[in-house]
């Protein structure tokens, strides 16, 4: 201690007055060591050390550039404290003499609004004088990094360590006027050390009281504009946000803060249904139970632990718009990003949960991933595993999967359209009704393929507004005649799904409303009454000329047996759904020139052929009625009102005869 030496103050702390130095020198011996000044006396020892030049430069970057939010310094210090406890736990496993071996491993956080201070302490491994100089005075050193290297050499296992001590520690100066670190190493003969710095030019070292407990205590004297970090509610929020799942108890102003376990790090065999639901309630902020959940862990090629939940209800079906990502990214149970944009593909945005990766490479701030390719690998692994989870759910619990499909089918379809890598696997998750299912009952492509008839090469689909409409579609006629099953697709975006999927298990997906549909021939049947080939050629030639600006082709054929005519999309024509989408997006919509195929055996077509010869004007009215009706049923009629007008004129003409 200094005796009879005049003191002044600096930042509220006593320091020697300049003119008292000679008096002090007469009582102490100066020793220049490691670029600093050592003052030695009988009772205490103080070092004043300057920061290395690169340390001062990096400090400025850390404080002003690396971190986008001040509050992360709390996360960094809590993470370092957790590391210290983890190191101590591993030391205890190796045996040997330890200072205060009975002391429980835990963290302690206290605030003092009046004094504007925040203190974060732990009962972990602590530091010796030399370690304090290395870890806090030389930013290139890292206690955790060094410890991990030792573990790799077989001196311990450090799989639960979080980050780098020195680098993360210096983030505290974003909010601190001065920081006081008091530490006592686990080594029985080590001295307790106090390190003090304002984060500017250097730091001072001195002995701490001999009864200092094992571990490290960081007292932060906050800047005026950082006074919120001395407010209990604010600090409680930050710790809960970033560090709620730290593996050691966190005592906050006398209250146990982290009461929820990081169940994603546990073996799923050791987690009960109640624990899964309780954790879901905590992270989803809801009282409802999840529809299903997936607990997944992997050691290779990337170490991953995750728990993902499907909510009971679709959040976007409630009128709140597009939901944001709800799967948080962690590293060693410490939050890295609560809403990472690229962790999972957009079509999985309905999921709620946690993904934790030991292999996550973090830069100095832990806020930015150094290698986005690794994040993409994580996304790929999790996505594939979740698709597999849905496959297993569909196989083992069809009722639960059908509930999922009812509420979340739009997301799976979006995945088919947007995800080239996963579209085939997602295609097998699609569900739909068909001509072979009862109303309301769903089937899938695998079951459809198992029912395919001999000689059937393709999977047939039909788009429409609802099942009732599709069941009366004339497009079904040739498929029914051949005993082929047709899938009903009644969602507005299904056309995009089929166009993206193209095929399933090498079976082409074919829309039966297309003109290029190829079907195996039917067995020969006796000729039905109707127009002959010559009359058919004459009729189609006439109509092709009359409608040359509206139709690309007019034919007769056997595609329809219940209606007089059917409209077919030409090979390059856009479907009605795609056209509607382009129009809604404000894009130019190309014209459609469909084909119309007449049923030569239908009485109205027979009458039309007669009118062509006897009353061409009336024939044109009937032809317009038949063609527009066919276009209307196909969703291709641009102006339905025109059909009504033409009907009135036709009726007036007939009644006037």
* CATH code of residue 333: 3.30.230.80
Yes or no: say if 44 and 191 are a contact pair by the CB < 8 Å rule: no
As a whole number, mean pLDDT of residues 402-431 equals 96
Residues 464-511: tens digit of each pLDDT? 989 999 999 999 999 999 999 999 999 988 999 999 999 999 999 999
* pLDDT-derived band at 340, boundaries 50, 70, 90: confident
Give the residue from 493, 525, 557 where a domain finishes. 525
Q: What is the CATH number of the domain that holds 482?
A: 3.40.50.11260
End-to-end CA, the chain: 126
What percentage of residues in the chain have a pLDDT greater than 90?
Answer: 60
Instruction: Specify whether 281 is located in the same domain as 358.
Output: yes
* pLDDT at site 11: 33
Instruction: Specify whether 140 is located in the same domain as 238.
Output: yes
- The yes-or-no verdict on residue 159 having pLDDT over 70 is no
* pLDDT at site 125: 96
* pLDDT at site 28: 30
* pLDDT at site 450: 97
Q: How many CB atoms lie within 10 A of CB 123?
A: 24
- Which distant-in-sequence residues (6+ apart) come within 8 Å of 66 by Cβ? 171, 363, 364, 365, 367
Structure-token pair, residue 60 = 């400025």
* pLDDT at site 153: 55
Residues 237-296: tens digit of each pLDDT? 999 999 999 989 999 999 999 888 999 999 999 999 999 999 999 999 999 999 999 999
- The yes-or-no verdict on residue 25 having pLDDT over 50 is no
Q: Which of 10-19, 211-220, 297-306 has the lowest mean pLDDT?
A: 10-19
Instruction: Specify whether 489 is located in the same domain as 572.
Output: no
Q: Which DSSP state fits 200?
A: S
Q: What is the mean pLDDT of the chain?
A: 84
Is 418 a domain residue?
no
Tally of structural domains, the chain: 5
Instruction: Specify whether 509 is located in the same domain as 616.
Output: no
d(CA 140, CA 125): 20
Is 33 a domain residue?
yes
* pLDDT at site 45: 56
As a whole number, mean pLDDT of residues 302-313 equals 95
- The yes-or-no verdict on residue 389 having pLDDT over 90 is yes
Q: Which of 259-263, 321-325, 407-411 has the lowest mean pLDDT?
A: 321-325
Instruction: Specify whether 552 is located in the same domain as 643.
Output: yes
Nearest to 566 by CA among 599, 590, 535: 599
- The yes-or-no verdict on residue 362 having pLDDT over 60 is no
Residue 147: which domain range?
53-256
Instruction: Specify whether 375 is located in the same domain as 495.
Output: no
Q: Which of 46-55, 187-196, 211-220, 339-348 has the lowest mean pLDDT?
A: 46-55
| Sole residue written with tokens 């806090």 | 136
| Sole residue written with tokens 């991933």 | 369
Cis peptide before 301 (omega within 30 of 0): yes
Q: What is the CATH number of the domain that holds 595?
A: 1.20.120.790
Is 48 a domain residue?
no
- DSSP conformation letters of 289-330: PPSEEEEEEE-SSS-EEEEEEE-SS-GGGGTS-SPPPEEEEE
* pLDDT at site 648: 84
d(CA 351, CA 272): 21
Residues 543-597: tens digit of each pLDDT? 999 999 889 999 999 888 889 999 998 877 777 777 777 777 787 778 788 999 9
Structure-token pair, residue 538 = 């004459």
Is 212 a domain residue?
yes
Yes or no: say if 589 and 579 are a contact pair by the CB < 8 Å rule: yes
Structure-token pair, residue 513 = 């409303």
Give the residue from 475, 504, 525 where a domain finishes. 525
Residues 213-233: tens digit of each pLDDT? 999 999 999 999 999 999 999
Q: How many CB atoms lie within 10 A of CB 139?
A: 22
State the pTM of this model.
Answer: 0.78
Instruction: Specify whether 271 is located in the same domain as 252.
Output: no
Nearest to 303 by CA among 377, 371, 362: 377
Instruction: Specify whether 175 is located in the same domain as 311.
Output: no
As a whole number, mean pLDDT of residues 177-203 equals 94
More confident residue, 433 or 30: 433
Instruction: Specify whether 494 is located in the same domain as 555.
Output: no
* pLDDT at site 602: 94
d(CA 360, CA 375): 8
Is 421 a domain residue?
no
* pLDDT at site 6: 36
Instruction: Specify whether 442 is located in the same domain as 563.
Output: no
- The yes-or-no verdict on residue 162 having pLDDT over 70 is no
Q: Which of 40-49, 132-141, 415-424 has the lowest mean pLDDT?
A: 40-49
How far is the CA of 540 from the CAs of 196, 553, 570, 608, in angstroms?
97, 9, 17, 11
Percentages helix, strand, coil for the chain, rounded to the nearest 5?
40, 20, 40
Is 193 a domain residue?
yes
* pLDDT-derived band at 53, boundaries 50, 70, 90: low
- The yes-or-no verdict on residue 408 having pLDDT over 50 is yes
Cβ density class 217-241: b for 16+ within 10 Å, e for less: bbbbbbbeebeebbeeebbbebbbe
Q: What is the largest CA-CA distance in the chain?
A: 134
* pLDDT at site 503: 94
Instruction: Specify whether 489 is located in the same domain as 552.
Output: no
* pLDDT at site 342: 82
As a whole number, mean pLDDT of residues 337-349 equals 89
- DSSP conformation letters of 504-552: ETTEEEEETTBTT---PPPPP-PPPSS--HHHHHHHHHHHHHHTTTT-S
As a whole number, mean pLDDT of residues 427-439 equals 97
Give the residue from 379, 401, 423 where a domain finishes. 401
d(CA 434, CA 442): 8
Is 590 a domain residue?
yes
Type and span of the H or E element at 33:
strand 29-33
As a whole number, mean pLDDT of residues 335-353 equals 90
d(CA 342, CA 337): 11
- The yes-or-no verdict on residue 15 having pLDDT over 60 is no
d(CA 491, CA 362): 43
As a whole number, mean pLDDT of residues 635-643 equals 82
Residues 511-524: tens digit of each pLDDT? 999 988 988 887 65
- Which distant-in-sequence residues (6+ apart) come within 8 Å of 253 by Cβ? 109, 110, 111, 232
d(CA 322, CA 344): 15
More confident residue, 458 or 527: 458
> 441 burial class (0-12, 13-18, 19+ CB within 10 angstroms)?
exposed
As a whole number, mean pLDDT of residues 44-70 equals 71
Instruction: Specify whether 178 is located in the same domain as 315.
Output: no
Is 26 a domain residue?
yes
């Amino acid at each position: 201690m200094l005796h009879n030496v005049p003191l002044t103050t600096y930042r509220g702390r006593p320091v020697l007055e300049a003119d008292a130095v000679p008096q002090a020198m007469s009582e102490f011996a100066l020793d220049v060591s490691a670029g600093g000044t050592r003052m030695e006396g009988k009772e205490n020892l103080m070092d004043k050390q300057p920061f290395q030049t690169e340390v001062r430069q990096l400090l400025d970057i850390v404080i002003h550039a690396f971190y986008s939010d001040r509050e992360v310094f709390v996360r960094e210090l809590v993470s370092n404290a957790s590391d210290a406890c983890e190191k101590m736990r591993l030391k205890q496993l190796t045996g040997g003499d330890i200072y205060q071996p009975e002391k429980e491993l835990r963290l302690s956080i206290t605030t003092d609004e009046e004094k504007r201070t925040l203190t974060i302490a732990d009962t972990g491994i602590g530091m010796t004088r030399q370690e304090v100089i290395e870890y806090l005075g030389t930013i290139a050193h890292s206690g955790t990094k060094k410890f991990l290297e030792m573990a790799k050499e077989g001196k311990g296992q450090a799989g639960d360590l979080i980050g780098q001590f020195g680098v993360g520690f210096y983030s505290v100066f974003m909010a601190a006027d001065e920081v006081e670190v008091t530490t006592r190493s686990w080594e029985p003969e080590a001295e307790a050390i106090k390190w003090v710095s304002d984060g500017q030019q250097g730091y001072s070292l001195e002995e701490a009281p001999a009864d200092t407990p094992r571990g490290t205590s960081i007292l932060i004297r906050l800047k005026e504009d950082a006074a919120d970090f001395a407010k209990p509610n604010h600090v409680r929020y930050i710790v809960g946000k970033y560090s709620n799942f730290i593996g050691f108890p966190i005592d906050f102003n006398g209250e146990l803060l982290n009461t929820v376990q990081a169940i994603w790090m546990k073996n799923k065999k050791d987690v009960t249904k109640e624990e899964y639901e309780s954790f879901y309630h905590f992270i989803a902020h809801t009282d409802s139970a999840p529809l299903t959940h997936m607990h997944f862990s992997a050691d290779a090629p990337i170490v991953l632990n995750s728990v993902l939940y499907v909510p009971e209800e679709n959040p976007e079906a409630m009128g709140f718009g597009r939901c944001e990502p709800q799967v948080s990214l962690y590293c060693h149970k410490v939050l890295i990003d609560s809403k990472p944009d690229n962790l999972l593909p957009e079509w999985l945005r309905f999921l709620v949960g946690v993904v934790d990766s030991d292999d996550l490479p973090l830069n100095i701030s832990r806020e930015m991933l150094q290698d986005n390719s690794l994040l993409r690998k994580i996304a790929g692994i999790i996505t594939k595993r979740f698709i597999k989870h849905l496959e297993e759910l569909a196989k083992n619990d069809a009722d639960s999967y059908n509930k999922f499909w009812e509420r979340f089918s739009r997301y799976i379809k979006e995945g088919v359209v947007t995800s080239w890598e996963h579209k085939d696997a997602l295609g097998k998750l699609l569900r739909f009704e068909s001509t072979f299912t009862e109303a309301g009952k769903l089937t899938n492509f695998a079951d459809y393929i198992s029912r395919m008839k001999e000689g059937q090469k393709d999977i047939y689909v039909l788009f429409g507004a609802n099942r009732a409409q599709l069941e009366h579609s004339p497009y079904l006629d040739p498929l029914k005649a051949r005993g082929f099953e047709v899938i009903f697709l009644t969602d507005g975006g299904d056309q995009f799904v089929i166009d993206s999927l193209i095929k399933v298990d090498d079976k082409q997906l074919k829309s039966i409303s297309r003109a290029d549909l190829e079907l195996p021939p039917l067995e020969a049947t006796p000729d039905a009454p109707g127009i002959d080939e010559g009359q058919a050629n004459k009729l189609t030639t006439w109509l092709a000329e009359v409608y040359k600006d509206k139709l690309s082709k007019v034919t007769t054929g056997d595609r329809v047996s219940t209606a007089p005519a059917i409209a077919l999309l030409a090979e390059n024509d856009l479907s009605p759904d795609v056209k509607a989408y382009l129009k809604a997006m404000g894009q130019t919509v190309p014209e459609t020139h469909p084909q119309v195929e007449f049923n030569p055996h239908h009485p109205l077509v027979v009458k039309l052929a007669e009118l062509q010869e006897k009353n061409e004007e009336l024939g044109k009215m009937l032809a317009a009625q038949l063609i527009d009706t066919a276009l209307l049923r196909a969703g291709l009629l641009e102006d339905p009102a025109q059909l009504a007008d033409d009907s009135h004129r036709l009726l007036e003409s007939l009644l006037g005869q």
